[in-house]
Amino acid sequence: MSWEKSIEELRRRERLAEKMGGEEPVSRQRGRGKLTVRERVVFLADPGSFHEIGKIAGVATYNDDQELETFLPSNSVMGRGRLNGRPAFILGDDFTVRGGAADASIRGKLIQSIKQAQDYRMPFVQLIDGTGGGGSIKMFEKDPRTYIPETPGWEYIVHGMGEVPFVSLALGPCAGMGAGRVAASHYSVMVRGLSQVFVAGPPVTRALGEDVTKEELGGWRIQARNGTVDDVVDSEADAFVAARRFLSYLPSSVHELPPITVSDDDPARKDEALLSIVPTDGKTPYKPRKIVEAAVDLGSFFEIGSQWGRGLVTGFARIDGHPVGILAGDPFFLDGAWTADVCEKVIRHMDLCSTFHLPVVHFVDCPGFACGVRHETAGVTRKGARAMAAMYQATVPICAVVIRKAYGLAGSVMFNPSKAKWRYCWPSGDWGSLPMAGGIEAAYRKELLEAEDKEAYLKSLHERFDAIASPFRTAEAFYAEEIIDPRDTRPLLVDFVHHARRVLETGRTAFGPRP
């Protein structure tokens, strides 16, 4: 006696599961220019590394002899795999099975996926396509009653985000629970023209009097520019590359430190271009990404959120092989002023770096919080205070490099000044409680009106206050701890990351990150 017949039945059911929603739905999926869920898993995971769990879960019908007649697999594929050689848990939605609706889902798959990722300390990667377990009107045919809504598994998402990296790739129309899962992650990506993210789709908004297409409602131009998702790419293949690269900077869980790699970039490298990259007139903008790229290991800068909060550049990089978080003011957008969305970007990035123990390098150029009716209407004051709190609550070392402006409350948010300051200032530094240039005429209005030669008197005032504003005057009082040659930035940051590594601590932060 043996169990050979049972194994044959197992293999038969596995083959049925591999057909997904059937020939026609699979053909429609590919006709839309989309991969199937099983193709996505193959492209994402290291070759041969994926081990599927719950493959034969689904809905079956039997004949009178209790033999299997039909089988429809659940609308998700889950299992363990490896990304760049490191373990990860993968959950992929199958749009070919009822468009990912709840009446084709097995909610235990989502919950079990998060619990496995969290308990075994590995990143959780979601390939989201559809409602992701959301509601379906046809469900009422099976259970003809309504219910008070709950979201099974959300408590695991909330807790899990404080334990392991969550990555969400939006690879089709994502509505309801699917949209929620996209947003509830540390890193999310959309594909141009292929994916949309919305609370409810066009049929629902049409009933509310808003007739729009899926792209007009939740395309990348909306969601990548308002910060709902972090990045947008051109293809599914690019999304898989982005996910793998994002995770390469992070530990597998909060119980580890970020992985150090071997760098072939000279730690003592000095880039001559840094000496002249900031214009001497104090007004003309420069490209902050060039400063970042010159200071970090060559080719290691990975920008996150480039489409939103554009007054601030955020991302990851490596310095002498050590992963770090990056903040850099961008004077091309409102001179780098912190708008409401920039403040939200600061909060999100600092939460991310604190959660996963990445030291932060902050290239400071900030003229303050954005002012005016539009910005007050957007809530810049409240969000600015929250951004300040996020910086002060950071649990990781922060090194500030003051490139140019640092004014007012926002300009002061370089790090928590109650802790040991690790700060370098370029000679181009320009700081204070308010910019002198705009305040001189107001402060000396009476004298200017009475002056015989107004222009000459104003010129003398500017010359006097330009001298007062010299960063060397600040350094005399030890308010600017070190003024450096910009070309020395990289070697000094290499020194910083080695010291920072010694004091990094593993474990869950006092407060988990919020989506």
Output the pLDDT for position 385: 96
Whether the Cβ atoms of residue 291 and residue 403 lie closer than 8 Å to each other? yes
Angle at 128 between CA 122 and CA 129, to 5 degrees: 160
Lowest mean pLDDT among 23-32, 132-141, 159-168: 132-141
Output the pLDDT for position 351: 95
What crossing angle do the helices spanning 236-248 and 37-44 adopt, rounded to 10°? 40
Residue 484 reports pLDDT greater than 60: yes
In three-state secondary structure terms, 163 is coil
Structure tokens at 408: 């007012």
- Taking the C-alpha atoms of residue 386 and residue 345, their distance in angstroms, rounded to an integer, is 11
How crowded is the C-beta side of 71, counted as CA atoms within 13 Å? Answer: 18
Residue 294 reports pLDDT greater than 60: yes
> Which residues is 59 bridged to in the sheet?
72
Return the H-helix or E-strand segment holding 69.
Answer: strand 68-73
Confidence of residue 286 (pLDDT cuts 50, 70, 90): very high
Kindly state the average pLDDT of the residues 215-225: 95
Kindly state the average pLDDT of the residues 142-161: 78
CA distances from 137 to 144, 154, 175, 204, 350 (A): 10, 22, 14, 12, 41
More confident: 238 or 507: 238
In three-state secondary structure terms, 443 is helix
Residue 424 reports pLDDT greater than 90: yes
Residue 435 reports pLDDT greater than 70: no
Give the Cβ contact number of residue 3 at 10 Å: 9
pTM for this entry: 0.92
Kindly state the average pLDDT of the residues 392-398: 95
Fold of 35-57+74-248: 2-enoyl-CoA Hydratase; Chain A, domain 1 (3.90.226)
Whether the Cβ atoms of residue 183 and residue 141 lie closer than 8 Å to each other? no
Residues of the chain with CATH 3.90.226.10: 35-57+74-248, 272-433+470-503
Sign of the alpha-carbon dihedral angle for 197, 202, 206, 211: positive
Output the pLDDT for position 455: 77
Kindly state the average pLDDT of the residues 154-163: 92
Structure tokens at 138: 């046809």
Output the pLDDT for position 459: 74
Output the pLDDT for position 53: 96
Lowest mean pLDDT among 19-33, 129-143, 272-286, 409-423: 129-143
Classify each residue of 360-369 as buried b or exposed e, where b means 16 or more C-beta atoms within 10 Å of its C-beta.
Answer: bbbbbbbbbb
What DSSP line would sit under 7-33, residue for residue? HHHHHHHHHHHHTTT-HHHHHHHHHTT
Output the pLDDT for position 432: 75
Q: What is the CATH architecture of 272-433+470-503? A: Alpha-Beta Complex (3.90)
Q: What's the pLDDT tens digit per position in 446-461?
A: 777 777 777 776 777 6
* Ranges assigned E (strand) in 199-244: 231-233
Residue 514 reports pLDDT greater than 70: no
Residue 81 reports pLDDT greater than 80: yes
Structure tokens at 331: 């004077």
Kindly state the average pLDDT of the residues 229-233: 97
Confidence of residue 509 (pLDDT cuts 50, 70, 90): confident
Output the pLDDT for position 438: 61
Kindly state the average pLDDT of the residues 118-127: 97
Confidence of residue 487 (pLDDT cuts 50, 70, 90): very high
Burial label for 60, CB within 10 Å (0-12, 13-18, 19+), is: middle
> To which residue do tokens 């000094």 refer?
492
- Taking the C-alpha atoms of residue 429 and residue 273, their distance in angstroms, rounded to an integer, is 17
Coarse DSSP helix, strand, coil percentages of the chain, rounded to the nearest 5 percent? 40, 20, 40
Whether the Cβ atoms of residue 181 and residue 152 lie closer than 8 Å to each other? no
| Of the ranges 243-252, 422-431, 472-481, the best mean pLDDT one | 243-252
Q: What's the pLDDT tens digit per position in 368-381?
A: 999 999 999 999 99
Instruction: Reduce the secondary structure of 388-442 to three states and give it as a string.
Output: HHHHHHCCCCEEEEEEEEEEHHHHHCCCCCCCCCCEEECCCCEEECCCHHHHHHH
Select from 313, 315, 286 the least CA-distant residue to 300. 315
